Structure 1
Amino acid sequence: MNREIIAILRGIGPDEAEAVFDVLIEAGISRIEVPLNSPKPFESIAKMVRKVSEDAIVGAGTVLDVEAVAELSAIGAKMVVSPDVCPDVIRAAKAAGMLSYPGVFTASESLAALRAGADGLKFFPAFKLGTDGFAALSAVLPKGTKAYAVGGVGPADFKAWCDVGITGFGMGTGIYKPGMSPSDVASRAKEIVAAYDSAFS
């Protein structure tokens, strides 16, 4: 099952990247993001990319410039997640054959991102927007737009977001915090997958 869950591993280091990657894949989460404000992020991403199976997608978050996109492309990353709508970053990611998920909160930002070629929209902070806010915004988005709720949304909230048409979720501290053991990450990932499968079944 191709679940629309992105694990956001902010703060992960290269020494733990492979072990955490393994438990996420085993739990059924195949989209993994390492924010670039983590320690040695390109090294962690490269280690995960070397382990990628056909269905997994590894990339970076907090991508702010085209130079970072070029470095990510060189190490084989397949996904660029940004906190903002920067058309240059979106176009660079698409030109390199990578998925682009910029952060948005308003209709103007959402449509600007889509016009620049974004594959999907990261609604952040989702808990501030809420399901009512997203439902209202989604009325003006093109049909089929992929939208992800990120920030303050946990497994208990999945069904409510599913009911208003969200595509998927980005999970940060709810799935990983620096210092967590792989077994801790695995147990959280399994809970998230179970809630996702229940909400979208």
Structure 2
Amino acid sequence: MTSIEQALAHMPLVAILRGIRPDEAAPVAGILYDAGFRCIEVPLNSPDPYASIRAMADALPGDCITGAGTVLDVASVARVSAAGGRIIVTPNTNADVIRATIAADMIAVPGVATATEAFVAVEAGARHLKLFPATTYGTGHLKALSSVLPTDVSILVTGGVSSSNIAEWKTAGAAGFGIGSELYRPGDTVEAVKTKAEALRAAIGG
């Protein structure tokens, strides 16, 4: 199975498909895979998210990690796993969710903002953190967090990250970038997603 490190090495962008419907999931995910994306999340506040996760997991090759975002409780972790998801992304730091994710042999990417939250997540077993909302804190905050965390912990950034500032975040040490509305908005055609995916790939030099 592909690790998140391998997925991000291939393309350091995580697609966030908030609002996608199950009938759109496989076609949109296929376009993203062709554009180089190897990590795709469906936020759980999307329509029938578990069906979308199942559709993507069934349609995509095994080197693409699919799963859920906006996961807020332990029960949801089990449902994502049953749908074929392999990654759990949260907007907050919930140690119980992190531990449940790791116990299910899934990838935990909890949301953190402060050093306190980051260390709570690390102590619960997370090795990939999501600085959220990134633009609220800025690149200086990312550098400061990185300087005190264990060297085997990486930070992805989400929230206000776009093709215009990816280079700045990359220089600050971000290991990956969660991309939402700049990549997909409800109602987008497959062709529109393809165009936006190619622009983002160009922005990271892919």
- Interval containing the TM-score (normalised by the shorter chain): over 0.9
Q: Distance in 2 between matches of 1:177 and 1:95?
A: 33
Moved over 2 A (4+): none
Specify the alignment match of 2:38 in structure 1.
30
Aligned ranges for residues 13-52 of structure 1 at < 5 Å?
13-52=21-60
- State the SS of the aligned residue for 1:197: coil
Please state how far the C-alpha of 1:141 moved relative to its aligned partner.
1.1
Q: Given residue 179 of structure 1, which amino acid in structure 2 is its aligned partner?
A: G
Conservation of the 8 A alpha-carbon contact between 2:29 and 2:60: no
Give the % identical residues.
45
Letter paired with 2:161: V
Amino acid at match of 1:45: I
Q: Does 1:136 align with 2:144?
A: yes
Question: Pairwise mapping of residues 86-101 of structure 1 onto structure 2 (< 5 A)?
Answer: 86-101=94-109
* 1:76-95 alignment, distance < 5 Å: 76-95=84-103
RMSD over aligned CA atoms reads: 1.1
**In the aligned structure 2, how far is the partner of 1:49 from the partner of 1:36?**
16
Q: What is the TM-score when the length of structure 2 is the normalising length? A: 0.93
Q: C-alpha distance in 2, partners of 1:68/1:119? A: 20
Task: Find the aligned partners of 1:114 and 1:197 in 2 and give their Cα distance.
Answer: 31
The equivalent of 2:67 in structure 1 is 59
Letter of the aligned partner of 2:32 in structure 1?
A: L
Unpaired segments of 5 or more residues in structure 2? 1-8
Give the match's secondary structure for 1:153.
coil
Q: Does 1:69 align with 2:99?
A: no
State the shift of 1:187 in Å. 0.8
When the two structures are superposed, what TM-score results if normalisation uses the length of structure 1? 0.95
2: CA distance, partners of 1:10 / 1:77:
16
Contact in 1 for aligned 2:31/2:193 (Cα 8 Å): yes
Shift of 1:173: 0.4
The question of whether the paired residues in 1 share the 8 Å contact of 2:69 and 2:90 is answered with yes
Aligned position for 1:197: 205
In structure 2, distance between residues paired with 1:174 and 1:75 = 26
Separation in 2 of the partners of 1:115 and 1:190?
Answer: 37
- Give the counterpart of 2:179 among 161, 171, 183: 171
Cα shift at 1:188: 0.8
Query: What is the distance in 2 between the residues matched to 1:158 and 1:184?
Result: 21
**Aligned residue identity for 1:189:** A
- What one-letter code is carried by the residue in structure 2 that aligns with 1:155? S
CA distance in 2, matches of 1:94, 1:196: 30
| Pairwise CA distance, 1:4 | 2.2
Structure 2 partner of 1:2 = 10
Q: How many residues were matched structurally?
A: 198
